[in-house]
Amino acid sequence: MMNVYFLVEGKTEKFVYPKWIEGLIPEMLEIKHPQDVNINNFYIFGNMGYPKIHEDFRNTIREEFIDKYDLIVVILDSDCRPVEEREEEVYKICAEENFDLSKVRVIVQNVCFETWCLGHTSIVKRNPQNKKLRAYLDYYDVTSLDPELMRAPENIKEVTAQYHGKYLKEVFRERNEGLRYSKGKQAAQHIDVKYYEQIKKRNETTNHLDSFSKLVSLFNNLKLNLSSSDSLISSKN
C-alpha cells in the first residue's frame, strides 16, 4: 500500500502531475479530498506559489489525516537559487514541527516547470519562421544546451523563470498545430505522459536537466513499491 500527498508550487503542476501519474502509475488513484485516503491513493494540492507553499506545507503536516499518507512530496521551483537551499527550507519546517523527515521528499524544479518542458528536444523546430523563437534560439539553443543553465539576458526586465515560460510559449506557437502553451489546466492537454517520456529521454541521454532525474526516481520507486505490495498480497492468497 502506498498513499502519497503531493504539494506543488505552480499553477500548472496540479493539473499536469496527475496526468503523468495516471499514465506512469495507473495503480494509484487520485482523490479529490485528502481525508478520503484509503489504499494506493494520491492527493495533489497547489495554491499560491512561493513562499506560500511553506505555509501550506506546515499546515499539511499538522493535519490529523496526514498519518494515513506514506509520503509527502513537495515540488517547488528553484528560481535560480541553489537547489539545496530550497530543499533545506522544507527540512527546516520539518524540524520545527518535529515531523518525520523519512516521510518527506523534496523535488526542486530547476529553474521552474517550464525549464523542464524546454527539454523536449523534438518539439523545438530547428529552423523556425517565428522571429521571436529564432531570437530565443540564437541567444540560447535549448536543443543542444542544458535548459537548467539558461539565464535571462541582462538587458531585459524579466526574471529567468518568466523568460523560460515565454521561450516555451514561442516553441509551441511555432509548431502551428493548434498548440498553445499557457499556465494552468490547459497545459495538461499538451504536457502529457508522452511529453514526460521525452524529457526523461533527454535527461538519460545527456547530463542535462539533472533536477528532473529526482522526479523520475520518485515515480520509479513508487511503481516498484506498489508492484512489490501487489506481489506480496498475491502470494498470501
Res 227: pLDDT? 80
How many CA atoms within 13 Å lie on the side-chain side of 176?
6
Note the pLDDT tens digit of each residue in 177-226. Answer: 656 788 888 888 889 999 999 999 999 999 999 999 999 999 999 999 88
Indicate the SS3 state at residue 184: coil
pLDDT tens, 80-93? 999 999 999 999 99
Q: Where are the domains of the chain?
A: 4-110+211-236, 114-205
Contact status, residue 88 vs residue 57, Cβ threshold 8 Å:
no
Partnered with residue 104 across adjacent β-strands are 72
Which H helix or E strand runs over 193? helix 193-205
pLDDT tens digits for 143-158? 999 999 999 999 999 9
> Higher model confidence: residue 81 or residue 10?
81
Contact between 143 and 124 under an 8 Å Cβ cutoff? The reply is: yes
- Distances in Å between the Cα of 228 and the Cα atoms of 6, 104, 129, 195 are 22, 21, 50, 27
* Prior bond of 51 cis (ω within 30°): yes
Q: So what's the pLDDT on residue 230?
A: 54
Domain 4-110+211-236 carries which CATH code?
A: 3.40.50
Contact assessment for residue 75 and residue 58, using Cβ atoms and an 8 Å cutoff: no
